[in-house]
């Protein structure tokens, strides 16, 4: 199983770029701390079979990017050592983003999956409304390109942290929330559907008050098309994903919350 896909699934859920900034929760912005770390298990599920395949970790710190104050967002996905002989995964994502708007300055994806490597770097130029990209893949020649920057577009990681600040209280059941992300030199406009509040019990018997969403996926070789990705998020100010569940051609892949460190607010959604 490709661990990076679980990292991307988590990110895709949170990457709903709302067109404009009016819905951000200004009173508590940002809803994360420098030093926050969130860890997930990557799991394959088919019927009664539950197979832990790896881990995915997200972290944030304050930093500088070309002398500008920035947040440094990072995500690292790895297969378990016991599976490395079969399919070794080491996936790394990072983003430097403006400390006030959270819009990205720089994004990097450096992934290695079973010997297939991808190095993708994006440099955002807001003066000229352009994104400069450099991409190298195992089966393709190195390319440099320039992409016209579309309005309110985020990379995968900056989108996660920006949209955690959205005021979810404005949405009603079945409301659709637009998505715009930049991935592999293309902008994708999808949508998220709000499905209401739910008490969620995880596979390790933890209980949370959550908000549930579905995400429209693009049909491909692994994912089915349609709304086959479901996400449960803590119903508190932290807005942390508890469970990401994506249907694939056989079974499903899941990202399940393992631990949190240095959250800005108490994890009040967890039911003890």
Q: Which two tokens stand for residue 224?
A: 């089915």
**Tens digits of residue pLDDT in 78-93:** 888 887 887 788 889 9
Does residue 125 surpass a pLDDT of 60? yes
What is the pTM (predicted TM-score) of this model?
0.84
Q: How buried is residue 229: exposed, middle or buried, by Cβ count under 10 Å (0-12/13-18/19+)?
A: buried
Query: Residue 240 contacts by C-beta under 8 Å, 6 or more apart in sequence?
Result: 38, 164, 233, 234, 257, 260, 263, 267
For residue 173, what are the domain limits?
Answer: 3-271
Does residue 11 surpass a pLDDT of 80? no
Distance CA 133, CA 104 (A): 13
How many structural domains comprise the chain?
A: 1
Q: What is the pLDDT of residue 87?
A: 79
Q: What is the pLDDT of residue 2?
A: 44
Considering only residues 61 and 27, tell me which one the structure prediction assigns the higher pLDDT.
61
Q: What is the pLDDT of residue 263?
A: 97
Q: What is the pLDDT of residue 162?
A: 80
Pairing of strands 37-46, 252-261: antiparallel
| CA angle 252–256–262, rounded 5-degree value | 155
Mean pLDDT of 195-224: 79
- Which ranges in the chain belong to alpha helices (H)? 3-14, 84-87, 156-163
Element (H, E) at 182: strand 176-183
- Check: CB of residue 215 under 8 Å from CB of residue 188: no
Does residue 258 surpass a pLDDT of 50? yes
Q: How buried is residue 201: exposed, middle or buried, by Cβ count under 10 Å (0-12/13-18/19+)?
A: exposed
Q: If you search the block for the tokens 């770390």, which residue do you land on?
A: 37
In a 3-state reduction of DSSP, which class is residue 3? helix
Mean pLDDT of 120-132: 96
């Amino acid at each position: 199983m490709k661990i990076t896909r679980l990292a991307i699934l988590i990110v895709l859920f949170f990457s709903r770029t709302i067109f404009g900034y009016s819905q951000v929760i200004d009173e508590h912005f940002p809803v994360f701390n420098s030093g926050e770390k969130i860890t997930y298990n990557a799991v394959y599920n088919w019927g009664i079979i539950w197979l832990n395949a790896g881990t995915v970790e997200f972290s944030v710190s304050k930093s500088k990017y070309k002398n500008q104050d920035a947040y440094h967002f990072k995500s690292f996905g790895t297969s378990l050592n016991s599976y490395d002989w079969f399919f070794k995964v080491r996936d790394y994502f990072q983003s430097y983003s403006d400390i006030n708007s959270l819009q990205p300055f720089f994004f990097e994806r450096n992934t290695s999956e079973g010997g297939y490597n991808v190095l993708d770097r994006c440099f955002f130029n807001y003066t000229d409304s352009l994104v400069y990209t450099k991409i190298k893949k195992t089966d393709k020649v190195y390319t440099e390109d320039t992409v016209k920057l579309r309005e309110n577009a985020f990379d995968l990681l900056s989108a996660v942290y920006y949209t955690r600040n959205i005021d979810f209280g404005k949405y009603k059941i079945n409301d659709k929330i637009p998505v715009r992300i930049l991935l592999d030199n293309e902008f994708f406009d999808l949508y998220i559907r709000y499905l209401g509040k739910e008490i969620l019990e995880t596979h390790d018997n933890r209980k949370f008050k959550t908000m549930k969403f579905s995400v429209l996926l693009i049909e491909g070789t692994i994912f089915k098309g349609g709304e086959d990705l479901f996400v449960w998020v803590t119903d508190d100010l932290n807005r942390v994903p508890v469970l990401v569940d994506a249907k694939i051609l056989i079974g499903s892949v899941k990202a399940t919350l393992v631990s949190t460190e240095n959250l800005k607010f108490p994890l009040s959604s967890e039911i003890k």
